[in-house]
Amino acid sequence: MAQPLVFLGPPASGKGTQAQRLAESLGFSYLSTGGLLRRALKDGSTLGEQSRPYLDRGEYVPDEIIVPMVLEWVSGKQGQWILDGFPRTLPQAETLDVALTNAGKVLPRAIVLKVPDEELRRRVTGRIECESCHWTGTGHGSDYCPKCGGTLSAREDDSTARFENRLREFQKLVVPTIRYYKEKSRAYTIDGAGTPDDIHLAVCDLVKSGA
């Protein structure tokens, strides 16, 4: 039975890029909670307005907003799926496990990308994102997305102050989540400081091996 995946790592670690590339390569369903929230902000939807105060401060969106949305998405998936940006907190990880167990579904394993803080700061200063498909990169030499042709722009959450706050939030909230998956023997750490292609190959090899 196919085992679902969650991608965990600090901001600018490349988890979104790698999660999306893996989903496209292997045909898995994919949900980026960060991309979904940024799109909701741009559209001015109810979800966007509820999330705006937290995102403006560089904080994670609280469970009462994000958890129901993710669980609804997961409940409709039968095959392999990937979550990017969830779970971010220990209660979210535990809630996801309980929901899947109650539904008789396989519990996810975590792919953890490890990148030094200095490299994260270097990456975030030049990061761009497609407004249409949410492809992300650190420089492309064009105003248009290489994937879908959409418009590229700097990410709104990549100001220096927001990034430093997000990094502190990661240490406080996500690190215990990573520890939870490690204690369950369901976490696999990958060096995220290499090139995107090298990291993608490492992730693919790990998933295909079923290690």
Residue 5: which H helix or E strand, with range? Answer: strand 5-8
The one catalytic residue in 21, 38, 109, 155 is 155
CA 44-71-39 angle, to 5 degrees, is 20
Catalytic residue among 21, 88, 123, 162: 88
88 is catalytic: yes
Does the active-site annotation cover 127?
A: yes
- Burial of residue 16 (CB within 10 Å: 0-12, 13-18, 19+) is buried
In the residue annotation, 155 being an active-site residue is answered as yes
Cα distance between residue 79 and residue 145, in whole Å? 29
Question: Which ranges of the chain would DSSP assign to H, the alpha helix?
Answer: 15-26, 33-43, 46-56, 63-75, 90-102, 117-124, 160-169, 175-183, 196-209
179 CB contacts (<8 Å, ≥6 apart)? none
User: In 10 A of CB 11, how many CB atoms?
Assistant: 26
By residue count, the chain amounts to 211
83 — phi, psi (to 5°)? -110, 130
- Catalytic residue, chosen from 39, 127, 182, 186, is 127
Establish whether 52 is a catalytic residue: no
Catalytic site residue 168? Answer: no
Q: DSSP states of 172-197 as a string?
A: IIIHHHHHHHHHTT-EEEEE-SS-HH
What positions carry a catalytic annotation? 15, 88, 127, 155, 166
